[in-house]
Amino acid sequence: MAADHKRAELAVNAHGLIKVFGDNRAVDGVDLHVPVGSIYGVLGPNGAGKTTTINILATLLRADGGSAQVFGHDVHTEAHIVRQLIGLTGQYASVDEALSATENLVIFGRLLGLSATAARKRSSDLLTEFGLTEAAKRPLSKFSGGMRRRLDLAASLIAQPPLIFLDEPTTGLDPRTRAQMWDTIRHLVASGSTVLLTTQYLDEADQLADRIAVIDHGKVVAEGTTGELKANIGTATLQLKLATKSTIAEASQITETILHTQPTNPNPTTLAAPMANPDKVTDLLVALRKANIHLREVSVQKPTLDEVFLTLTGKPTEKTDSEGKP
């Protein structure tokens, strides 16, 4: 009983998932543990195996190795049960172009067992919730990318599934629409759903996810809370652009004294130093002012996905196919 209870607390429990396409090991031993009621981010570049992993968990693909349970139900042997518990929003709009938004939602609703009346009601509720009421009767070919994505998400929520897969929900969206999507996702979790999302953006994972798995070449290269990962990955970098070249030596020394770390100079007028303790920045700026060193620009650079990958894997994110070539 106790073991059963513990197992049920995981929305997704995957062990050593493997999927091979030809000689490409798209997913190569992925473990995922997604607690119920959380937002879990799977972060990685294009071709890292994110979508393949989601497709296995959503019963669209059969894994070549390993096992996965959704709320304790095996994705292969109990696929039909798993499908009753999930909503899937794919990377490519999984709605019907030739039909209107309402028609799409009503058909999905009917397929999910709602009566004609209930399906129409649910559809209009969802369209209202997602701000698509005005466009409900228009053909989808007239929809913007953001509207399509919202409709797609609405379609995943018809049956109010306790687990929702979002495959790159904001890729290609403008910043405002992205922020709306983030709000929607937060709202979903507040109403009791568990969300597993994939993203290419560190920023997005950081904003939304309780825990993150960083995935590369089909393998999980790091896993933890956002805080844990950031501590691993390194800190933001403070960049100081000096007004004149001649002051660089002095400025460098002051920086070293105050931040206790040797700054680098990427170009003759710029100093860069890891910003472990943001409080010290004020001290540094005051010290520079006292020494009469003038600054042209002060900026802080957060680690990018590229740097995260460099740190975690020792190689940049591009060239994912370089290994296969001689």
Partner 1 sequence: MHQENAITPANQRVLKNHTSIIQAVRDSLIMANRNLRKMRRTPEQFADVTIQPILFPVMFGYIFGGAISGNVKAYLPLLIPGILAMTVLTTSQVTGTQLREDMDKGVFNRFRSLPIARIAPLAGALIADTLRYAIAAVLTFAVGYVMGYHPQAGLGGVVAGIILTIGVAWCLSWIFAFIGTMARSSSSVQAIAFIFLFPLTFLSNSFVPVTTLPGWMQAFVKVNPISHLVSAVRQLANVGTIGHDFWYCLLGALIVVLVFAPLTVRAYMRKA
- Which chain residues interact with partner 1 by CB under 8 A? 8, 11, 36, 55, 58-62, 71, 73, 78-81, 83-86, 88, 90, 92-99, 103, 107-108, 110-112, 139, 155, 160-163, 190-193
Structure token pair of residue 238: 């403070």
- Compare residues 117 and 191 and give the one whose CB is closer to partner 1: 191
Strand partners of residue 73:
70
**Closest approach of Cβ 299 to partner 1, in Å?**
41
Please give the Cα distance from 67 to 179 (Å, whole number): 35
Structure token pair of residue 265: 């100079």
- Compare residues 107 and 221 and give the one whose CB is closer to partner 1: 107
**Closest approach of Cβ 40 to partner 1, in Å?**
15
Please give the Cα distance from 221 to 215 (Å, whole number): 6
Cβ(165)–Cβ(57) below 8 Å: yes
Please give the Cα distance from 123 to 158 (Å, whole number): 8
**Closest approach of Cβ 179 to partner 1, in Å?**
21
**Closest approach of Cβ 115 to partner 1, in Å?**
11
Length of the chain: 326
**Closest approach of Cβ 116 to partner 1, in Å?**
10
Q: How far is CA 32 from CA 66, 213, 255, in A?
A: 11, 8, 42
**Closest approach of Cβ 82 to partner 1, in Å?**
9
- Compare residues 151 and 238 and give the one whose CB is closer to partner 1: 151
- What does the buried/exposed string (b/e) look like for 170-209 if buried means 16 or more CB atoms within 10 Å of the residue's CB? bbebeeebbebbeebbeebbeeebbbbbbbbbbebbbbbb
- Compare residues 155 and 205 and give the one whose CB is closer to partner 1: 155
- Compare residues 116 and 179 and give the one whose CB is closer to partner 1: 116
The separation between CA 142 and the C-alpha centre of its own chain, rounded to angstroms, equals 28
- Compare residues 101 and 240 and give the one whose CB is closer to partner 1: 101
- Compare residues 163 and 181 and give the one whose CB is closer to partner 1: 163
**Closest approach of Cβ 84 to partner 1, in Å?**
4
Please give the Cα distance from 33 to 220 (Å, whole number): 12
